[in-house]
Structure 1
Amino acid sequence: MKTYQIVIAGGGAAGISVAASLKQRDSSLTIAIIEPSETHVYQPGQTLVGRGVMSLEQLKRPTRSFIPANVDWIKASVTEFKPESNEVALDNGDTLTYEHLIVSLGLKLNIEGIEGLSETLGQNGVTSNYVTELSAYTWEQVQQLRSGRALFTQPPMPIKCAGAPQKAMYLSCDYWLKEHRLSGVDVEFHNAGAVLFGVGEFVPVLESYVKKYGIDTCYGSTLIKVDGPAKKAWFKQGDGSVTETHFDLLHVTPAQCAPDVVAGSSLANDAGWVDVDQKTLQHTRFANVFSLGDVCSAPNAKTAAAVRKQVPIVADNLLAVRKQQSMPGVYDGYGACPLTVEVGKVVLAEFGYGGSLKPSFPLDPRVPRSLYWWMKTTGFPWVYWNLMMRGREWLVKTNP
């Protein structure tokens, strides 16, 4: 059994970035990151792979290359959290003890929650940009479709990057329009929610693209079953009825939930997420536990941009707690969703708790701009790899 001052469960964007941030603040800290994967993926780029703008290879880097110096990388998975005794059990049989714990395990795609999906995903025209390797299959299917019916789905919230289901749809329609095929493609957007986008200021511009592409929006419509070989999908409607439809291409956004190891622990709230104070990101019951990223219960958009803002807040607050000082960091719920409405144009939606707008630039955020396309395809990836993942916090404040 090995003891660390700080154990970080999950070595994705949130876990590695917060480790780097802590080491920048105090190089003497003993830190361990628990992460089984040897490959780190830039997930925001998966939408672009689904349109042929980026390749899968461009999204991948060795995890080892981002582990901060003098941080132990434990290549294992967490099997149990024991916050009452400050322990984490691993699938290699080891147990780590800690003074402080940071939980950043991300979320789980509940593919099994849709009947028949696991058997057909990645074939029969059924795809999902949410599955890293299938984003390239999305692009193959979009190019191959010359006519027929294309369905795009969005499950109940919360999901990672709430705009991503629409991004896949708009970029696909953009391709079909430019290839003079769109008139022969019947596009349907099946959204379990009641509105196109949760922040009302961005709905009109998105509706203009829905109209431009001739998309049929189906609200209160949740995918519950797929038969890939038969090219059929079933949707549960708001009134409880079930409708069946044929498809030629089906882009699925699976429902998403907390990882089982979190949901089944005493760290979880009733919905399964790590129960934190939404401003400090400290656990509501275990004062030596913090959480950030997709797995925490804070009601913000689950995006990489949110992680970039959360990292220094967790770092500052955790170190303050270690010194028995008041926590200085306050998270305002910031998240950003670069809505790729066409190749070359992005609506940069930035917002905080309650849907309050938080634009970073003195420009009307509701207007699609080529500048934001450059940022989405070039600027943001550079910031991610070279700043955020290295603990270099550019233009990030830890309090309002």
Structure 2
Amino acid sequence: MLAAKIATRTACHRHWARLSSTAAAPSSYKVVVIGGGAGGLAVSSTLSKQLGKNEVAVVEPSATHYQQPLFTFVGGGLKSFEETYRPTSEVIAPEAQWINQAAAQIDPDSNTITLADGTKVAYEYLVVAAGIELDFAGIKGLKSAIGKNGVASNYSPQYVQKTFEFLQNVKEGNALFTMPATPVKCAGAPQKIAYLADELFREKGIRDKVAVNYYTALGKIFAIDKYANAMNEIARSRDVSVNLFHDLIEVDGAAKRATFKVLGSGPQTGETVTVPYEFLHVTPPMKPFDFIKNSDIANAAGFVDVDKGTLQHTKYPNIYSIGDCSSLPTSKTAAAAAAQSSVLKHNLLNQIRGTNAPAAEYNGYTSCPLVTGKNKLVLAEFSGYTGAPQETFFFNQAKEHAFSYWVTAEALPAIYWSSMLKGTWDGPAVIRRFANPTSAN
């Protein structure tokens, strides 16, 4: 207990030291990075080392950085919540200036951003890595039901621990798991928790009393056919009911009832279906942040409009974007951000230095580790641009494998803290050359 208090006190001192330096921060930087998530830190860590102290600023309002890919393991009772976070002050590179505020406005014509307190910060180059906003208010009744009434979500640090708590309380009835129609980060996460719940119910000897139902607003269980076929077979073998084109539109927490709208083009299109539940895991709709959507750097959908190869803005050449807030047409994952970070840093540093080196090109690589049980996982790796698998290892990664589970549950979290956030992990491309040189799968 004493050691924990000392560690907490030390972290607080470091945090307030960074805040005090923010108060005296300059108002102009060579590079401003909006967002202190995985992508933003992967970029800012390298740029700040290359360009020198206080040439790079990171605009990030949260005092805590979460390793979000671990949330599924927390919700499934496989890891502790404490493993998922560290103080932001400890993960931002010491050469970078942390501006501990939210961005409120971007003016690309004047090369300034306005912070939540009205302060303006000028930049020569801007990297937008703000992520995507969870829209719990986008489903009627959800905000008042979430965190109680058997309703949880692995997508929020506020509610992820409720998932395992509520799953343990289930004795019979319907367990529902949802996927919305909007773009989401980590699109496999909505179904991963369904398989972990199925396993938990079997261990408790109540699986015959609990119906496990996956409702997705999309027309497929997974976007890439190779992995969709695998997941459909796994769902069938576990008796997980898959309901396509069903979009959650309302939650009645008091009555424990969920209402879905039927999408698609079938005979029931436009109708609503109400289902009672004992447990409900909700993947909330997601949307671009307003300060991006309402700016001149956004496309019609509200995402930062960048070239899908170079990650450079299509109109403003001194602006780049990475990760979930970008218009890049691939799955929004930390793995994608890692690969994108290498391309972005190469191209931006070339521009800053005025070199004529060829531009690096991002090929759409992303990865979605689909946990299907304890020590079981389908490791989907593919290009979101072409749909072709880009598997790192020589075996067929569409098959459940204990090694894939170990990579995801143990190796990648360690790489995340020790390498990705420090800007030295660009994804598994180098490993792939040795582990799967012929792209066998």
Q: TM-score range by the shorter chain?
A: over 0.9
| Counterpart position of 1:141 | 166
Specify whether residues 70 and 50 from structure 1 end up closer, same or farther in structure 2 by C-alpha distance, changes over 3 A only: same
| Counterpart position of 1:256 | 286
For residue 23 of structure 1, report the CA deviation from its aligned partner. Answer: 3.2
For residue 144 of structure 1, report the CA deviation from its aligned partner. Answer: 1.1
Give the partner amino acid of 2:370.
L
Alignment check: 8 A CA contact 2:182 2:287 kept? no
> Is 1:338 aligned to residue 330 of structure 2?
no
Tell me the distance in 1 between the aligned counterparts of 2:368 and 2:425. Answer: 19
> Is 1:240 aligned to residue 274 of structure 2?
no
| Counterpart position of 2:94 | 69
For residue 354 of structure 1, report the CA deviation from its aligned partner. Answer: 2.3
TM-score (norm 1): 0.97
Spell out, residue by residue over 1:143-185, the C-alpha distance to the aligned partner (whole angstroms, 9 max, x if none): 1111111111101141101100010111111111222211110
Tell me the distance in 1 between the aligned counterparts of 2:306 and 2:336. Answer: 15
Aligned pair partner of 1:208 in 230, 233, 250? 233
| Counterpart position of 2:147 | 122
Spell out, residue by residue over 1:31-72, the C-alpha distance to the aligned partner (whole angstroms, 9 max, x if none): 000011111000000000001111111101011111112211
> Is 1:373 aligned to residue 398 of structure 2?
no
Alignment check: 8 A CA contact 2:102 2:115 kept? yes
Give the partner amino acid of 1:237.
V
Spell out, residue by residue over 1:209-258, the C-alpha distance to the aligned partner (whole angstroms, 9 max, x if none): 21122122111110001110111111101210111111111111111111
Specify whether residues 328 and 25 from structure 1 end up closer, same or farther in structure 2 by C-alpha distance, changes over 3 A only: farther
For residue 343 of structure 1, report the CA deviation from its aligned partner. Answer: 1.1
| Counterpart position of 1:292 | 322
Aligned pair partner of 1:311 in 341, 363, 369? 341
What count of residue pairs does the alignment treat as equivalent? 399
Aligned pair partner of 1:217 in 224, 233, 242? 242
For residue 264 of structure 1, report the CA deviation from its aligned partner. Answer: 0.8
| Counterpart position of 1:42 | 67
Aligned pair partner of 2:425 in 377, 384, 393? 393
Aligned pair partner of 1:8 in 9, 23, 33? 33
Alignment check: 8 A CA contact 2:339 2:362 kept? yes
For residue 370 of structure 1, report the CA deviation from its aligned partner. Answer: 0.4
For residue 112 of structure 1, report the CA deviation from its aligned partner. Answer: 0.9
Spell out, residue by residue over 1:284-316, the C-alpha distance to the aligned partner (whole angstroms, 9 max, x if none): 110000000110000111001111111111111
**Which shifted more, 174-183 or 375-384?**
174-183
Tell me the distance in 1 between the aligned counterparts of 2:270 and 2:388. Answer: 33
Alignment check: 8 A CA contact 1:130 1:253 kept? yes
Specify whether residues 395 and 266 from structure 1 end up closer, same or farther in structure 2 by C-alpha distance, changes over 3 A only: closer
Alignment check: 8 A CA contact 2:180 2:283 kept? yes
Alignment check: 8 A CA contact 2:179 2:247 kept? yes
Superposed CA RMSD in Å reads 1.6
Spell out, residue by residue over 1:337-393, the C-alpha distance to the aligned partner (whole angstroms, 9 max, x if none): 110011111110001122111011111111111011111111010000001111223
TM-score (norm 2): 0.88
For residue 92 of structure 1, report the CA deviation from its aligned partner. Answer: 2.2
- Could you list the structure 1 runs, at least 4 aligned residues long, displaced by more than 4 angstroms after superposition: 394-398
Give the partner amino acid of 1:31.
V
Alignment check: 8 A CA contact 1:274 1:296 kept? yes
Give the partner amino acid of 2:421.
M
Alignment check: 8 A CA contact 2:46 2:422 kept? yes
Give the partner amino acid of 1:147.
E
| Counterpart position of 2:84 | 59
Specify whether residues 301 and 285 from structure 1 end up closer, same or farther in structure 2 by C-alpha distance, changes over 3 A only: same
Give the partner amino acid of 1:350.
E
| Counterpart position of 2:42 | 17
Alignment check: 8 A CA contact 1:6 1:29 kept? no
Tell me the distance in 2 between the aligned counterparts of 1:377 and 1:46. Answer: 11
> Is 1:355 aligned to residue 413 of structure 2?
no
Tell me the distance in 2 between the aligned counterparts of 1:318 and 1:307. Answer: 16
Tell me the distance in 1 between the aligned counterparts of 2:53 and 2:212. Answer: 56
Aligned pair partner of 2:215 in 170, 183, 190? 190
| Counterpart position of 1:174 | 199
SS at match of 1:176: helix
Aligned pair partner of 1:384 in 401, 410, 416? 416
Alignment check: 8 A CA contact 1:24 1:391 kept? no
Tell me the distance in 2 between the aligned counterparts of 1:83 and 1:320. Answer: 21
| Counterpart position of 2:439 | none
SS at match of 1:354: coil
Tell me the distance in 2 between the aligned counterparts of 1:163 and 1:41. Answer: 18
SS at match of 1:355: coil
Tell me the distance in 2 between the aligned counterparts of 1:49 and 1:381. Answer: 13
**Which shifted more, 127-136 or 287-296?**
127-136
Tell me the distance in 1 between the aligned counterparts of 2:89 and 2:346. Answer: 25
Alignment check: 8 A CA contact 1:102 1:289 kept? yes
SS at match of 2:109: coil
Tell me the distance in 2 between the aligned counterparts of 1:390 and 1:314. Answer: 15
Structure 1: gaps spanning 5 or more residues: none
Alignment check: 8 A CA contact 1:197 1:203 kept? yes
Tell me the distance in 2 between the aligned counterparts of 1:44 and 1:11. Answer: 16
Specify whether residues 395 and 60 from structure 1 end up closer, same or farther in structure 2 by C-alpha distance, changes over 3 A only: closer
SS at match of 2:159: helix
The percent of aligned pairs where both chains have the same amino acid is 36
